[in-house]
Structure 1
Amino acid sequence: MVDCPISVIIPTYNRDKFLKRAIDSVCRQTWSCSEIIVVDDGSTDNTEKLLFHLAQESKIPLVVIRSKNQGVAAARNLGIKKAKYDYLAFLDSDDHWGRKKIEIQFQKFKEQNKFQISHTKERWFRRGVHLNQKRKHIPRHGDIFCHCLELCAVGASTVMLRKELLEQVGVFDEKMNCCEDYDLWLRVSASHEFLLIDAPLTIKEGGRKDQLSHIHRIGMDERRIYSIKKLLDTGELSPGRYKKAMAEFERKINVFAKGCLKHNRQELGYKYLKLLQEYKQQSCNFRDEKSPFTIKNDTNDCIKLARPFDSH
């Protein structure tokens, strides 16, 4: 068995029914990682006892970190901070991996070393029933910025990356109780291409009421608007990317505000429409000193251009 310099980070909260399966899927890889870091985010079920036994049985060093229920972003960040190795892989505790995930993904990563982040295809199940993915959910290769603007285009459990990448773009935003993965992959995709492993090496389970995507489903649009706003505010997008981000910012706000007005949340809806108007009107007719042109949106309001890093 080949040992790879990879730290696998598994955040968990009250998932004792699934956690062993996730850890076993890492331990049974054809190529081994160097450590497994499980961050128990204040579980109140049998997780602590289970991890004690699994740590004693595991042939791979299994590091258990306990934290006070601060959310999945903080849990992953704690794992990142403790990781000893140059490559990181994430696995949610209710998902699991095919046996060759590390072998195939790490080999491709080393062969195509211009990439700093890689993801795989997934197999989706809902309560044990296999689901076919819609076209928009099929992961993509290369420049996936536009795809990442639209939705969460990268499954956290599919990702392997170089640790140094997070030193460049930052880690998970701990202010976000959901969509923290959308936020990070969007920031990464603004400046880096993604290597896609064209094989379903990750198995994703869904359809349960205890999952964050269900608990926070009403607030997901608002969180994604927040993420795009942060990106627009960085001043680091190229003109083309700024225009695309602004267009999606406008689309998401209009959809969200319409829903607010429909469901008697007028104050919140108008708040976001006002925010949108502020962004559309800011720096009208601004000409970036590094750019020979300006961009106008559909209402002929001039969009402020940020410092370009590429021509996309």
Structure 2
Amino acid sequence: MTLGNRVSVITRTCNRPKMLERALESVAMQTWPHKEAVVVNDGGASVAELVDRFRDRMDIVLLEFDPSDKPGRCLAATRGIEAGTGDWIAYLDDDDLWFPNHLELLMTAAVTTGKQVLYTDANKATEEPDGAGGYRVIKVEPGPSEDFSRAGFYAGCYIHLSTFCHHRSVFVDHGGFDPALPVLEDLDLFYRYSFDHAFHHIAQVTAQFSVRTDRTNAITAMRKEFLDTNAMLAEKYLSLAVHDLMTWLREGRDQINGLYHAVTDLTRRVTELERRLEREEEPSS
């Protein structure tokens, strides 16, 4: 397969223009030139004027849905992917941001490794209301940084969607976000994409995601839904965990057997050497 290098950046938004502007600014500042922003307005007030301000800096597609025809988070993302023209798909939530080297690191790694699913690391920014309708950052700390392990998803999702990138063919093969899920649609996507792909981890911080103290993040506002959906997904993909466990057991057994044979062979060689030395030290008659 010949892999092109144009990236469609999917951003879903709904009535958060200040955050959206910050996110789009971070896309426009990317050092990787082959990109387009795809903004999907999921039933909020129009952001056409805001989006138009970026058109002289990058290619940008805007999909706006009326509140009466609001597709929801999952379908909004899928519609964005379908509207994009990029060979690769990257995601940026409207309340997150990228550092300028984000796409360049991903695309460089895609070329050098041949991987079709990749992710980087992100910092976690805690924000509080600033009293003027916006937010200010009060703390920044490292987010998770873990190499890919499908079983790791069972302990909790260690990949943030805003660090995630994949080739369009992966979407064609495995589909987009499941609209039946109220939350954690990204974790479900990660599970499905891991069927055929070992994700490539770039252990560099290239993004920043936000957690707000006023509980306006989905993960805090919908805590029960997150817990219930996480349990449902773990059960849904339990067969994968069993398969992975059996694979590890077999690999571990093979490694132990290999080590046993190596030690046995080394012991034999040492014994032979000791006997040879003993013979050479014996006085000649």
Partner of 2:97: 96
* Superposed counterparts of 1:4-23, under 5 Å: 4-23=5-24
* Superposed counterparts of 1:34-113, under 5 Å: 34-44=35-45, 47-51=47-51, 53-55=52-54, 57-67=55-65, 68-113=69-114
| Paired residues of 1:73 and 1:173 also in contact (CA < 8 A) | yes
Partner of 1:282: none
Give the Cα–Cα distance (whole angstroms) in 1 for the partners of residues 145 and 56 of structure 2.
32
The reply to whether residue 146 of structure 1 matches residue 151 of structure 2 is yes
Amino acid aligned to 1:60: M
CA shift, 1:155, in A, is 0.5
CA shift, 1:206, in A, is 1.1
| Paired residues of 1:33 and 1:60 also in contact (CA < 8 A) | no
CA shift, 1:239, in A, is 4.5
Amino acid aligned to 2:120: T
Per-residue Cα deviation, 1:16-53 (whole angstroms, up to 9, x for no partner): 11111111111111112331100000113x634322x3
Partner of 2:264: none
Partner of 1:163: 168
The reply to whether residue 222 of structure 1 matches residue 220 of structure 2 is no
Give TM-score scaled by structure 2 length. Answer: 0.74
| Paired residues of 2:48 and 2:62 also in contact (CA < 8 A) | no
CA shift, 1:242, in A, is 7.4
What SS does structure 1 have at the residue aligned with 2:177?
coil
CA shift, 1:192, in A, is 2.0
The reply to whether residue 124 of structure 1 matches residue 105 of structure 2 is no
Per-residue Cα deviation, 1:236-278 (whole angstroms, up to 9, x for no partner): x48533779xxxxxxxxxxxxxxxxxxxxxxxxxxxxxxxxxx
Give the Cα–Cα distance (whole angstroms) in 1 for the partners of residues 35 and 49 of structure 2.
23
* Superposed counterparts of 1:190-209, under 5 Å: 190-207=195-212, 208-209=214-215
Distance 1:223 1:239, change over 3 A: closer
2:189 counterpart (171, 181, 184): 184
Per-residue Cα deviation, 1:276-311 (whole angstroms, up to 9, x for no partner): xxxxxxxxxxxxxxxxxxxxxxxxxxxxxxxxxxxx
Distance 1:28 1:159, change over 3 A: same
Among all aligned residue pairs of Structure 1 and Structure 2, give the percentage whose two residues are the same amino acid: 24
Q: CA RMSD in A?
A: 2.3
Amino acid aligned to 1:241: D
Give the Cα–Cα distance (whole angstroms) in 1 for the partners of residues 48 and 227 of structure 2.
34
Per-residue Cα deviation, 1:136-155 (whole angstroms, up to 9, x for no partner): x623224x111112212210
Per-residue Cα deviation, 1:157-215 (whole angstroms, up to 9, x for no partner): 00111111122222111111211111111222344211111111001111242221122
| Paired residues of 1:183 and 1:224 also in contact (CA < 8 A) | no
Give the Cα–Cα distance (whole angstroms) in 2 for the partners of residues 187 and 150 of structure 1.
17
Give the Cα–Cα distance (whole angstroms) in 1 for the partners of residues 116 and 103 of structure 2.
15
Structure 2, unaligned runs of 5 or more? 128-136, 248-285
Amino acid aligned to 1:185: F
Per-residue Cα deviation, 1:124-145 (whole angstroms, up to 9, x for no partner): 1101133434xxx623224x11
What is the aligned residue count? 231
Q: Which moved more, 1:74-83 or 1:164-173?
A: 164-173
Give the Cα–Cα distance (whole angstroms) in 1 for the partners of residues 144 and 207 of structure 2.
13
Give the Cα–Cα distance (whole angstroms) in 2 for the partners of residues 85 and 156 of structure 1.
18
Give the Cα–Cα distance (whole angstroms) in 2 for the partners of residues 154 and 239 of structure 1.
22
Give the Cα–Cα distance (whole angstroms) in 2 for the partners of residues 100 and 34 of structure 1.
13
Bigger relative contact order, structure 1 or 2, given CA contacts below 8 A and separation 6+? 2
Amino acid aligned to 1:33: H
Give the Cα–Cα distance (whole angstroms) in 2 for the partners of residues 19 and 96 of structure 1.
9
| Paired residues of 1:30 and 1:100 also in contact (CA < 8 A) | yes
Per-residue Cα deviation, 1:205-237 (whole angstroms, up to 9, x for no partner): 1124222112211111211222234335xx7x4
| Paired residues of 2:8 and 2:35 also in contact (CA < 8 A) | yes
**Which structure has the greater CA radius of gyration?**
2
What SS does structure 2 have at the residue aligned with 1:132?
strand
Give the Cα–Cα distance (whole angstroms) in 1 for the partners of residues 28 and 106 of structure 2.
16
Give TM-score scaled by structure 1 length. Answer: 0.68
